[in-house]
Structure 1
C-alpha cells in the first residue's frame, strides 16, 4: 500500500485527465490535419496517421504526437509528414484552433465539485498541459474551477515541456511544496515521466485518455479509471 499521507498538492494534466480526450479532441485533430493539408482530404488522412491517429476509427496510438505532444511538436510532425506549410507557420494556427476547441471540450466528471472538495482538504491544485496556456485558462473559466487552481502551465509558459520536470518544479515554487509532496495525475507516459523526473511523491495514471492499462502501468504508482477515484486513493 502506498503511503499518501505526505501528499499536499496535485498537479493535473488537462486533456484525457480532466477532459474526455476522444469526445473533446478527435474532431479538433481532424480539423488540424485538414488545415495542415491545405484542404487536401487524402493528405489530411496521411498526416493524421503519421501523427498517431487512425483517420477511420479515430483511435490514437498511446504517447504519439497527437496523444501527448505539444503544439510545436505536432506542427513539426505535420511538416515532416508532408504538410506544405512549415512548422513555424502552423504553430500559431494550431494554437488558435486549440484555444477555440476548449470552449467545446467535454469534462470526464463535474470538475467544480471535485476541485472544491480537494481544495477544502487543504490541497494545492495545479494544471500542467502540453496545450497552450490560453487553452488551459479557457477551460478553467468554462468549468468554474478558477478559485481552486493555484498554478497553470502550458508548453508555452516558460517551464519547459513534458516529460521534463519543469512544470512540476514550477508548481512547487508557486506553492512552497517539495516534489515529494506532489501527486502528478495524467493519462499518458509524458505526464508520468515528468513526475518521475521531478521526484514527485505519487504518479497517478487515469484511463480516460490516450493511454492504456498496458502502456501506463509500468510508470505509475496508482492506476485509476478516472479522477473521481482520486479521493479514495488519498484517504
Structure 2
C-alpha cells in the first residue's frame, strides 16, 4: 500500500479523492468570474422588470466579498458558493426574486437565464488555474500508480470541462459530481461512490479538500485521512470576513498586550503573532481535518 506523506505523519492509502474548486483549481479565478457575471445579470434583469435588489445585501447571497467596483475578491469557505450545490445557488437567487414580487415561475426562469449567461461566459474565457504544486503532485501519484478521483459539489459535466480546460483530466479515473448521488457534501455519498468506482475501501482512501464540508464527508465515509488544503486562503478567509478588516483585526490583536498597550517586541514578534493567529483561524475553518497543509509541496507519496 502507498504511503501518503504529510507534515503530521504518513498514512497508508490505496486511493486519493480530491474536491475540485479551491482544491484543484483556484476558486476565485473560476467562481469569482462566474459569480460576478451571474449577479450582474440577476440585478440587470430585475431592473428591467422595475425591481431593485438592495446592493448592500448582494455579497450575502452567495457568500462573497466584493471590491468597490463590484468584483469578487474573496469568498466564505463555509458559504453557499463554496459549499452549496448549483441547485442550492439557483434556489437562493430564485427566492430573492420571489421576495421582490416575481412569481416563483418567473423567478426560476430569470435565474436560469442568468445561469446560461454566466456559463457561456465561462466557456468563452475558461478562467481556470491549478493550485500551486498540484500538477507535480498528480504526476507523482500517477508514477506510483495511485488511483485518483474527483468528488465535487459541481455537476459532473461542468467538472469534466474544468478538468479538461486545465489539462489534468487524464489523471483521474472517476469524476463524481453532486448530480450522481442523492446527497451531496457533507454526506458521504460521493466519497463512497468514488471508492466503489476505484475498487477500494473507503478506509484506504485519503480525501483532500478546502472546506470543512469535505472533511466531514471524509469522516462520514470512514476515510483513512482528511487533509485540508489552505493554500488559497487569504487572511480574510481565515478570519471569516473581509481581508482588509481581518488583517487589521489580527494585527491589532498581535500588537497589543494583556492591558491593550502596544507590544514592544518589534516587527518580527508581530509577524510571528500574526502568522500564529492566521494559522489558528485557518484551523478553525477546518476543524474536522486530520491535518492542514498550505500547498501540495507539503505532500508526497511513496511505496
TM-score class normalised by the smaller sequence: 0.7 to 0.9
Larger-Rg structure: 2
Once the two structures are overlaid, the 10-residue window that deviates more, 104-113 or 133-142, is 104-113
Aligned to 2:165: 142
Q: CA deviation at 1:35?
A: 2.4
**Hey, what does 1:43 align to over in structure 2?**
53
Offset of 1:154 from its aligned partner? 1.2
Aligned match of 2:115 = 94
Out of 221-230 and 97-106, give the one that drifted further.
97-106
Q: Separation in 2 of the partners of 1:96 and 1:149?
A: 29
Cα distance in 1 for partners of 2:197, 2:113 equals 28
TM-score when scaled to structure 1?
0.85
**Corresponding residue pairs, total:** 233
Residue matched to 2:298: 229
Unaligned runs of 5+ in 2: 1-7, 239-281
Report the TM-score, using the length of structure 2 for normalisation: 0.67
TM-align CA RMSD: 2.8
Alpha-carbon separation, structure 1, partners of 2:231 and 2:288: 17
Give the 5 Å matches for 1:85-234.
86-87=107-108, 90=111, 94=115, 97-98=118-119, 101=122, 103-109=126-132, 111-158=134-181, 160-209=183-232, 212=238, 213-231=282-300
Q: Mean Cα displacement is larger for which, 96-105 or 145-154?
A: 96-105
Q: Which runs of no fewer than 5 residues in structure 1 stay unpaired?
A: none
* Correspondence 1:23 to 2:46: no
What whole-Å deviation, never above 9, does each CA across 1:41-94 have from its counterpart, x for those lacking one? 873843332321133363322210012211111111122334655347635853
2:73 is equivalent to residue 58 of structure 1: yes
Deviations 1:186-210 (A, max 9, x none): 1111111111111111101011346
What pairs with 1:57-76 in structure 2 (closer than 5 Å)? 58-76=73-91
Query: Does the 8 Å CA contact 2:42/2:114 hold for their aligned counterparts?
Result: no
